[in-house]
């Protein structure tokens, strides 16, 4: 009986191993079913989802105008103090004082891409961009100024 048990044990052992090997062998001979992506060689064809949260950007139109009113709703919504808005007072041609942003400081090194600032923005001035390759050699490069130089607020946004 001992010999019979021994042989049957060897048989089940070898057969279960072969069963597993058959699966791996299948993929060895069917390389088309392998789904590995060759990053970074596929950078040109790499498509990220449109909602993917990479970094906060402020879109400007062709007249170098943005939609940020400087209401600091995003600054208050941010859990990490990533956003810092410095405001100034613009004087309009009629002589009225109007609040506008001077610098929109964005600390990428502190950002966790939680999307709370974009949700809180009443004028949709900031959006999430899909860029995810953020590594730089100097940490100070991660502190960004989002509004472009000499940009203005778009007409009709309060």
Site residues for another protein per CB under 8 A: 12-13, 16-17, 19-20, 22-24, 35, 48-49, 51-53, 77-79, 112-116, 119, 128
- Give the C-alpha separation, 97 to 104, whole Å: 20
By beta-carbon proximity to another protein, the closer residue of 13 and 59 is: 13
CA angle 155–157–158, rounded 5-degree value:
130
Rounded to the nearest whole angstrom, what is the least distance from the CB of residue 48 to another protein in the complex? 8
Whole-angstrom distance, CA of residue 55 vs CA of residue 15: 52
Identity of the residue, 52 or 89, whose beta carbon is nearer to another protein in the bound complex: 52
Choose between 61 and 119: whose C-beta lies nearer to another protein. Answer: 119
Sign of CA dihedral 150, 84, 127, 140: positive
Closer to another protein by CB, 105 or 114: give it. 114
- Minimum gap (Å) between residue 34 Cβ and another protein: 9
Distance CA 46, CA 118 (A): 25
Q: Can you read off the two tokens belonging to residue 41? A: 């060689």
Structure token pair of residue 74: 């995003």
In the complex, the smallest distance separating the C-beta of residue 50 from another protein, rounded to whole angstroms, is: 8
Residues 69, 99 contacting (CB under 8 angstroms)? yes
Contact 105, 83 (CB under 8 A): yes
Question: In the bound complex, what is the minimum distance in angstroms from residue 148's beta carbon to another protein?
Answer: 25
Nearer CB in complex with another protein: 11/89: 11
CB of 150 to another protein, least distance (A): 32
């Amino acid at each position: 009986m001992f010999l019979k048990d021994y042989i049957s044990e060897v048989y089940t052992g070898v057969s279960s191993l072969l069963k597993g090997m058959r699966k791996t062998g299948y993929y060895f001979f069917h390389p088309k079913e392998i789904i590995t992506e060759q990053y970074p060689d596929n950078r040109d064809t790499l498509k990220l989802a449109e909602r993917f949260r990479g970094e906060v950007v402020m879109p400007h139109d062709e007249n170098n105008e943005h939609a940020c009113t400087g209401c600091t709703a995003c600054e208050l919504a941010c859990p990490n103090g990533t956003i810092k808005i410095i405001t100034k007072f613009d004087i309009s041609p009629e002589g009225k004082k109007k609040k506008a942003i001077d610098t929109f400081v964005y600390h990428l090194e502190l950002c966790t891409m939680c999307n709370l600032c974009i949700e809180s923005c009443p004028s949709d001035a900031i959006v999430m961009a899909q860029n995810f390759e953020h590594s730089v050699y100097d940490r100070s490069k991660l502190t960004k100024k989002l509004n472009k130089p000499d940009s203005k607020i778009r007409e009709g946004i309060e």
